[in-house]
Every structure is written in C-alpha cells, then in structure tokens.
Copies of this chain bind each other. A is one copy, B any other.
C-alpha cells in the first residue's frame, strides 16, 4: 500500500458549504475522498490529451444483428498488435438492436482510431468511447 500524506487547503466558508452539500448529495464518506476523486479525474483528463499515453477504454456500440462486418472486425481486434482487447460483452437490447461493450488497452491515439473504425461500420448505429489514463490510478 502507498503512503498517505496530509495537506492543508484554505477556502472560503461559502465555497466549503456548497462543496459539503454537493458531496453529501453524492454520498461521499469524507471531503478527502471527494477531493482525491477530483484530483484523479483532472490528472486522467490531462494525460488523455496525449495520444501516446497508455489508457484503458470501453467502447460502447449499438448495432443491428445483421452487422456481420462488426463481428469480423471484433475478431480481428483479438489479433491486433497495437491494442490489447481485454474483454467484451454482448447484450441483447431488443428485437433489432444489440449492445457491445469492448474493453481495450493501449495508446490513446490507437484506441481512438480503432473506435472510429468500429463506429463507422455499416450496421453500427451509435457509438461512444470512454477513456481512462491508467497511470493516473
């Protein structure tokens, strides 16, 4: 386990009250926990601006059953040298649509390129990508 340090932060009474209300609403057990999360998020966002940063990503695709190209491309991803496909999950949404969540690991730039290629496939209707910089954890 890593070592813990304690720092002091000065802030206006009104700002502290507003912050306490915000974190109570979200269920935070302490101010320290909430501030650590804000700091980690900011560091992660900063790192993700660098296309060479290492990241883990979840690509989230809604597509029709009939998208055979997506299936072929997902299989290719298993053999990619640039990205590591950690896992994927297939969910039946309704009679027309499926959801595929693919967890990838690699450089930010490569992940974004792969995600764009997946989203552009015929039959893929909506796509989003969530990146987290793994060095920030």
Contact = CB atoms under 8 A, between A and B. Distances in A.
A65 to B, nearest CB: 11
A103 interface: yes
Given A18-B43, A58-B101, A87-B91, A31 B12 contact: no
Oligomer: number of copies: 4
Contacts of A129: 130
Contacts of A26: 116-117, 119-120
Given A101-B89, A137-B126, A19 B4 contact: no
A60 B58 contact: yes
Q: Is the interface of A mostly helix, strand, loop or mixed?
A: mixed
Interface in A100-137: 101, 103, 116-117, 119-122, 124-130, 132, 134, 136-137
Interface string A7-49: 1111111111011001101111101111111111111101000
